[in-house]
Amino acid sequence: MSVMEADFGDEAEANEDAFDHRLPLVLLRERRRELVMEMRMRGPKLSTVLIHEIAAIQQTIKAVEAVIAE
């Protein structure tokens, strides 16, 4: 369920399953994809800050996936 499909009305408060709790994981994956595309566009001029940010997001994704798996 995407944010657009989620019901944020009074009924959603009563039904906690109405919102997909995996949304943060999706957003993290999209951000990682954006950063990788930015890295590809830069070519040989790689920023260590960009590489560290991608690595941090990857570690966060793995941690979230581990929690969901439990």
pLDDT tens string 7-61: 444 444 545 555 566 688 899 999 999 999 999 988 888 889 999 999 999 999 9
Confidence of residue 1 (pLDDT cuts 50, 70, 90): very low
User: Is residue 11 in a domain?
Assistant: no
Quote the pTM value.
Answer: 0.64
User: Is residue 16 in a domain?
Assistant: no
Distance CA 30, CA 50 (A): 15
Distance CA 5, CA 67 (A): 24
Find the domain containing 56 and state its range: 21-69
User: Is residue 28 in a domain?
Assistant: yes
Structural domains of the chain, count: 1
What is residue 21's predicted lDDT score, i.e. its pLDDT? 62
Give, in degrees to the nearest 5, the angle at Cα 7 between 27 and 34: 15
Distance CA 64, CA 70 (A): 10
What is residue 12's predicted lDDT score, i.e. its pLDDT? 46
3-state secondary structure of 21: coil
Which two structure tokens, joined as six digits, stand for 32?
């990682």
